[in-house]
Structure 1
C-alpha cells in the first residue's frame, strides 16, 4: 500500500447536475484534481448568504435623505434660510442609516 499522509477517507454523493457544476467550478479555478479541489473547498471555502432586506431598508433611507437634501438645496438656492430643524432631520436620518448598516454588518459577521 502507498504511504499516505491523509489516512481518513470521506465520501459523499452528488447527482449528475451537481457533479457537472463541480467540474465547471474546477475548470474555472484551474484545478484538475477533484480530491484536492473538494478538500480545499471543504476547508477554506465560504458559503455566502445575502439578506437583501437590510439593503432595501438602507436604500429607502438613502432615498429619503436625498429628497430632503434636494429640498434644502432648493431652499438655499432661493436665498431662504435653512432651518436648524432641517439640519437636525438630516442628522437623524444619517444616524438611522448608520444603525441599519451596523446591524446588517453585525448580523453577517456574528458567530
Structure 2
C-alpha cells in the first residue's frame, strides 16, 4: 500500500542552503533537539514567527536538595495555615507574630543554604558579582 499524498499546500518543494560555523550549527541542532523538532521543522517555525517551546530537564539526585524541598513544603503548609487563620477573621497576636517571624527566618536560612549549594555546584557565586 502506497503512502498517501500530501496536500499541495503542505508539500515542501524549495530547498534552502546556507553555511554555519560549527558552533552555530551545534546551537541550532541542540535548540531543535530540545524543542523535540527536526532542524528543518525548527527553522520553519522560527521563520513563521511561531512560538517555539524549548524544554530543559535538569536532573539532580542530591539528598540536600530533596531535604530542602521537603522543608519548603513544610514551611509552605505553615504559611497556608497562617493565611487561613487570618482569612477566617483571626486577630494578630504576639504568638501569631512570632510564628510568622519564625517562618520568615526559616525561609531566609533556606535561601542561604541554596546559595551555598549553588556555589558548591557551580563555583563561587561571589566571583560573578560586580
Relative to the length of structure 1, the TM-score reads 0.49
Query: Highest relative contact order (Cα 8 Å, sep 6+), 1 or 2?
Result: 1
Which of the pair is proportionally richer in helix?
1
Relative to the length of structure 2, the TM-score reads 0.43
